[in-house]
A and B are shown apart, each in its own frame.
Chain A
Amino acid sequence: MQQQYVEKQKEITPQELLDLASVAKSLPGTMIGNVAMLYGYRVGGLAGGFAAVFGMILPPFAVILVISFFYAAFRANPWVNAAMEGMQAAVVPIIFGAAVNLIKGSMPYPPCVLLMLISVAAYLFTGINPIFMVILGVVLGLVIGSYYERRQDHDPS
């Protein structure tokens, strides 16, 4: 995105792209889909937004379509299987690496740490649907966020 639109076409400044990205990140859904919608809207209104979203999904859709057609046959091949077994071992470290990046800035107030731990336990030991956990997060976020912000307003130190 940065290369294509900021540097080549000069359609948008780096700062604007950052703004779009931060709004896209704070909304639910795939971030890239949200960025496409915001950027498309900026260039061509709502129709531009829809066009950008659908344009963005087509290439990966085609790639996965091809892969999943051959998935069963590929997977039965012992060499492909060996390579996939190797890659399976990489999945947990990759998610771990991403989680390390998520930690930064994710727990600004002490109750957030408790919320994180409760979330780990709920995911592992109860069958609760993750969407209810996210809804709980929205409600508690409103409570915790507004409480600490009010406290900061009263105590400027």
Chain B
Amino acid sequence: MILLKLFWSFLLIGFGSFGGLSMIPQISNEVLSHGWMTAEQVTDIVAIAEMTPGPLGLNCASFAGMQAAGIPGAIAANLGVLMPSITLCAAAAVFFHKFRNSRVMQWILVGVRPICLGMVVGVILSLSGSNYWSGTGLNLTGIAIGAVDLFLLLKCKSGVPTVLLFSAAAGLVLYGALGLPA
């Protein structure tokens, strides 16, 4: 039963998203509402997924599936999230040349792109709440690390792995060695 639920949830995630970070709103909505992962685990898996090879959607499927129902759960979730690729995209492969210049697909994206962008902005705002607010007050250390990260990403054009490495090191020093509150 849980396997079917995992499969179905990740099927919805797959069909409702267009790759990469646009999957985060769907993923966090499904795994939080079923209680498969906590908000903190969602943040962890995004960090882990960015560090490890492989696309975010599949890594989240594997991780949430494992947490909920072990290896069978991970397989069910992966199959779900891959369904669009092995159905819709297989059809598109067969009709590739008709499909490439399809105006209808272009029109659909006119509406879907802003919706996805808006939901990603929503995720940024709600994750900011859980990542930089410790329940009693602002997590100033986290905000400081985040500010440097943003600077590295936007001004220095650093890659995501560099930024994560820097943040892990900063976490070790500030939280681990100096014992600042999280």
A interface, CB within 8 angstroms of B: 19, 22-34, 36-38, 41-42, 46, 49-50, 53, 57, 59-61, 63-65, 67-69, 71, 75, 78-79, 81-100, 102-103, 105-109, 112-113, 115-120, 122-124, 129-131, 133-146, 148-149
Question: When each residue 142-166 of chain B gets 1 if its CB lies under 8 Å from chain A and 0 otherwise, what string results?
Answer: 1101100110011000001001101
- How many chain B residues touch the partner (CB < 8 A)? 105
Asked if A107 and B113 make an inter-chain contact with CB atoms under 8 angstroms apart, the answer reads yes
Q: Does B72 contact A (CB under 8 A)?
A: no
| Complex-state Cα separation, A64 to B176, whole angstroms | 25
Main secondary structure of the interface of B (DSSP, over half): helix
Asked if B58 and A33 make an inter-chain contact with CB atoms under 8 angstroms apart, the answer reads yes
Question: When each residue 32-71 of chain B gets 1 if its CB lies under 8 Å from chain A and 0 otherwise, what string results?
Answer: 0000000010011011111011111111001100110001
List the count of A-B residue pairs having beta carbons below 8 Å apart. 371
A-B contact pairs, 6 of them (CB 8 A): A37-B85, A57-B78, A61-B54, A89-B141, A97-B153, A118-B118
| Complex-state Cα separation, A89 to B134, whole angstroms | 12
Asked if B20 and A29 make an inter-chain contact with CB atoms under 8 angstroms apart, the answer reads no
Q: Which residue of A lies closest to B113 (CB)?
A: A106
Q: Does B92 contact A (CB under 8 A)?
A: yes
| Complex-state Cα separation, A4 to B117, whole angstroms | 31
Asked if A60 and B59 make an inter-chain contact with CB atoms under 8 angstroms apart, the answer reads yes
Asked if A25 and B19 make an inter-chain contact with CB atoms under 8 angstroms apart, the answer reads yes
| Complex-state Cα separation, A134 to B131, whole angstroms | 26
Q: Does B3 contact A (CB under 8 A)?
A: no
Asked if B85 and A99 make an inter-chain contact with CB atoms under 8 angstroms apart, the answer reads no
Asked if B167 and A65 make an inter-chain contact with CB atoms under 8 angstroms apart, the answer reads no
Asked if A23 and B24 make an inter-chain contact with CB atoms under 8 angstroms apart, the answer reads no
| Complex-state Cα separation, A147 to B159, whole angstroms | 40
Chain B residue numbers with a CB within 8 Å of A129 are: 12, 29
Asked if A138 and B108 make an inter-chain contact with CB atoms under 8 angstroms apart, the answer reads yes
Chain B residue numbers with a CB within 8 Å of A71 are: 44, 63
Asked if A140 and B111 make an inter-chain contact with CB atoms under 8 angstroms apart, the answer reads yes
Asked if A141 and B82 make an inter-chain contact with CB atoms under 8 angstroms apart, the answer reads no
Asked if A60 and B52 make an inter-chain contact with CB atoms under 8 angstroms apart, the answer reads yes
